[in-house]
Amino acid sequence: MKFELTILGSSSATPIFQRNPTAQILNINEKIIMIDCGEGTQQQMLRFGIKFNKIDSIFISHLHGDHFFGLVGLLSSMNLNGRVKALNLYCPVALKEILDIQFLHSGSVLRFPLNYFFTQTTSPQKIVDTPDYIVETIILNHRIPCTGFLFTTKKKLRKIIKQKVDELNIPKQYIDLIKKGFDYTDSQGKTHSAQTLTTEADAPRSYAYCSDTLYSLDYLHSIKNVNTLYHEATFLNDMSQRAKETYHTTALEAGYLALTAQVNQLIIGHFSARYKDVNLLLLEAQSVFSNTKLAIEGKTYRV
Amino acid sequence: MKFELTILGSSSATPIFQRNPTAQILNINEKIIMIDCGEGTQQQMLRFGIKFNKIDSIFISHLHGDHFFGLVGLLSSMNLNGRVKALNLYCPVALKEILDIQFLHSGSVLRFPLNYFFTQTTSPQKIVDTPDYIVETIILNHRIPCTGFLFTTKKKLRKIIKQKVDELNIPKQYIDLIKKGFDYTDSQGKTHSAQTLTTEADAPRSYAYCSDTLYSLDYLHSIKNVNTLYHEATFLNDMSQRAKETYHTTALEAGYLALTAQVNQLIIGHFSARYKDVNLLLLEAQSVFSNTKLAIEGKTYRV
């Protein structure tokens, strides 16, 4: 099952030349999901050729502007481009008020259903459950209420070995049963076990998104053993005091979290505008957790 | 006196790749003024090297998103960058509510005074009067209340001919009097007329900004004889019916307006996303008014 992450923005609070505020695209089995939507996200989508109307759901972690100021423009453009398909929006409750007042004064009436699902920030919730994946919130610790998101694919049925099915000329109607573990008996009465006709299903995979947070082990249980952890790394560790004051994480701390949570891969982003060269942040995180990558705008990562 | 216009955005409702929504910078004698502020304006400023904190005033024509969705992000960045200098904001009254609710939920407190001046849309008003220039509103006709803006520099004092002042060794304290038209009598009792010691002051210059409007002669009096008219030209004239329905102007109509108003120079912008090649719009406007230019992002025009 495809499970890919594309970075649209990697800057923290203020954009700098060539670095935009946070936004990401997840592709889970061709379901297109946006996570956060800083100013200029629609321009980034144009730049990287991502179609607005393919987006199925949008998840907003919190109401600092660098994580949502691009949303109203994106929704307006979807509307002007004739979208009719419903869009699911998972967000803090006040976002509805913020969007409504702007639509009101611009005389805009959305021609597509915008379905709001409000996140709460006291304990992790399962907020989405589809045949392919689930989404749970991660309770982060920021200056204002903030949730991360954990996307986990579901374990699918075992995979048919096509060559064997063809050899035995197994009728189509048996295939799903075999995938589910039923043995197959052929016309000569010979039984072929489901195990021999199939291979193991893909293991579930998981992506944890931790947008803005003070370094803490409080949410370790939510990110434990994930395949890919995206974590903010706003500062180098020599600014750990500043990170604490602003409820942010340093690159070193992000590395520690990845190590402690035993994740496969760490992607760091949300870089402070003060760092023209973000490789210093990468090296610092890698000094603790070697499989760390930088969030590079336009780049796609396998989860 | 310097009087220059820099285009930051040239697209209409939805941005397309390499065309951003409306925003402009005026430099009047080093006073930096922003007109409209579509999404991504701060990124455009970074691209073209225009410093956020130099902006003295911002004028917002109306509350369609492509003219103001970038404002809250720009103000937030100014705040995060430590601005303390007051900023004047000329805008429809509802914009305050829209900004306030976003600052409230993001826990942002502006550390600089944001002085609101609300435009009304029944008749043109003089809204700014400084020693260098005045600003008046232009009543446009759009789907929601919309004002354009007319910037006119003031006639200054006559200009001293430095060579003559040096030859006659005229003391400094007389210079302003001579500029104001007083004759100068030297130590030998010889009188030198102010006329011979000075040249004519620069003529006042004017820039009219007509953002979004149905083609009409109702505001002709406001744009009459201006040096530079910026006018929206959303469509080609074969779409004049669509222009009417959406309260927009065609390139041909913008050309007619420039001709009828006897302006010196016309700049057209606010191009519909349907036109990949905007030269067709230019040619159409030029067929009526030859001194027409395209609004090109990053380009600066002498008013």
Neighbours of A154 (CB within 10 A): 13
How much is the pLDDT for B1? 86
Burial label for B221, CB within 10 Å (0-12, 13-18, 19+), is exposed
Looking at beta carbons, which residues of chain B come within 8 Å of A70? 39
Inter-chain residue contact B69 with A73, CB threshold 8 Å? yes
Give the closest of A72, A98, A101 to B65, CB-based. A72
Looking at beta carbons, which residues of chain B come within 8 Å of A98? 101-102, 105
Looking at beta carbons, which residues of chain A come within 8 Å of B81? 14
Q: What is the pLDDT along chain A (303 residues), one digit of tens a residue?
A: 899 999 999 999 888 878 999 999 999 999 999 999 999 999 999 999 999 999 999 999 999 999 999 999 999 999 999 999 999 999 999 999 999 999 999 888 999 999 999 999 889 999 999 999 999 999 999 999 999 999 999 988 889 999 999 999 999 999 989 998 899 998 899 999 999 999 998 889 999 999 999 999 999 999 999 999 999 999 999 999 999 999 999 999 999 999 999 999 999 999 999 999 999 999 999 999 999 999 999 999 999
Inter-chain residue contact B98 with A97, CB threshold 8 Å? no
Smallest CA–CA separation between A22 and chain B, in Å? Answer: 13
Q: Which amino acid is at A36?
A: D
CA–CA separation, A41 vs B140, rounded Å? 31
Smallest CA–CA separation between A216 and chain B, in Å? Answer: 22
Residue range(s) occupied by CATH 3.60.15.10 in chain B: 3-156+202-295
Over range B181-209, report the average pLDDT: 92
Looking at beta carbons, which residues of chain A come within 8 Å of B47? 17
Backbone φ, ψ for residue A236 (5° rounding): -75, 160
Q: What is the 3-state secondary structure (H, E, C) of A37-102?
A: ECCCHHHHHHHHCCCHHHEEEEECCCCCHHHCCCHHHHHHHHHHCCCCCCEEEEECCHHHHHHHHH
Inter-chain residue contact A42 with B46, CB threshold 8 Å? no
| Percent of chain B scoring above 90 in pLDDT | 89
Structure tokens belonging to residue A217 = 């082990």
Looking at beta carbons, which residues of chain B come within 8 Å of A101? 94, 97-98, 101
Nearest alpha carbon to residue A210 among A142, A153, A144, A152: A142
How much is the pLDDT for B128? 96
Q: Where are the beta strands (DSSP E) in chain A?
A: 3-9, 23-28, 31-37, 55-59, 87-91, 114-118, 126-129, 133-139, 147-153, 159-160, 184-185, 191-192, 198-199, 206-210, 228-232, 265-269, 292-294, 300-302
Q: Which residues pair with A185 in a beta bridge?
A: A191
CA–CA separation, B78 vs B88, rounded Å? 13
A38 to chain B: closest CA residue: B73
Supply the CATH classification number for the domain A3-156+202-302.
3.60.15.10
CA–CA separation, B283 vs A218, rounded Å? 63
Smallest CA–CA separation between B17 and chain A, in Å? Answer: 5
pLDDT band with cut points at 50, 70 and 90 for residue B278 = very high
- What are A's interface residues with B at a Cβ cutoff of 8 A? 13-17, 20-21, 39-40, 42-43, 46-47, 63-66, 69-70, 72-73, 76-77, 80-81, 92, 94-95, 97-98, 101-102, 105-108, 143-144
Strand duo A265-269 + A228-232: pairing: parallel
CA–CA separation, A247 vs A234, rounded Å? 10
Q: Please determine, for residue B15, whether its predicted confidence score (pLDDT) is greater than 90.
A: no
Inter-chain residue contact B77 with A14, CB threshold 8 Å? yes
Catalytic status, residue B66? yes
Inter-chain residue contact B144 with A16, CB threshold 8 Å? no
Contact criterion met (CB below 8 Å) for A105 and B98: yes
Give the closest of A17, A40, A63 to B39, CB-based. A40
Looking at beta carbons, which residues of chain A come within 8 Å of B106? 63-65, 144
Neighbours of A13 (CB within 10 A): 23
Looking at beta carbons, which residues of chain A come within 8 Å of B16? 46
Give the closest of A17, A63, A76 to B65, CB-based. A76
Catalytic residue chosen out of the listed positions B36, B56, B66, B277: B66
CA–CA separation, B196 vs B193, rounded Å? 5
> What does each C-alpha distance from B199 to B3, B157, B176, B227 come to in angstroms?
20, 10, 14, 22
Stated pTM of the model: 0.90
Inter-chain residue contact B98 with A102, CB threshold 8 Å? yes
- What are B's interface residues with A at a Cβ cutoff of 8 A? 13-17, 20-21, 39-40, 42-43, 46-47, 63-66, 69-70, 72-73, 76-77, 80-81, 92, 94-95, 97-98, 101-102, 105-108, 143-144
- Disruptive mutation site among A39, A61, A103, A272 for chain B (greatest number of B CBs within 10 Å): A39
CA–CA separation, A142 vs B82, rounded Å? 21
Nearest alpha carbon to residue B220 among B271, B284, B263: B263
Backbone φ, ψ for residue A55 (5° rounding): -70, 130
Over range B122-139, report the average pLDDT: 96
Residue range(s) occupied by CATH 3.60.15.10 in chain A: 3-156+202-302
Q: Which CATH number fits domain B3-156+202-295: 3.40.190.10, 3.60.15.10, 1.10.15.40, 2.40.30.10?
A: 3.60.15.10
| Long-range pairs, B271-279, Cβ under 8 A, ≥24 | B271/B10, B271/B11, B271/B12, B271/B19, B271/B233, B271/B234, B272/B12, B272/B13, B272/B234, B272/B235, B273/B11, B273/B12, B273/B13, B273/B14, B273/B15, B273/B16, B273/B19, B275/B236, B276/B16, B278/B10
CA–CA separation, A270 vs A294, rounded Å? 10
How much is the pLDDT for A202? 85
Q: Which residues pair with A299 in a beta bridge?
A: none
Smallest CA–CA separation between B14 and chain A, in Å? Answer: 6
Q: What is the ipTM of this complex?
A: 0.87
Structure tokens belonging to residue B87 = 């900023």
How much is the pLDDT for B157? 87
Nearest alpha carbon to residue A85 among A99, A95, A75: A75
Catalytic residue chosen out of the listed positions A36, A56, A66, A132: A66
Looking at beta carbons, which residues of chain A come within 8 Å of B211? none
- Tell me how many residue pairs between chain A and chain B have CB atoms under 8 A apart: 112
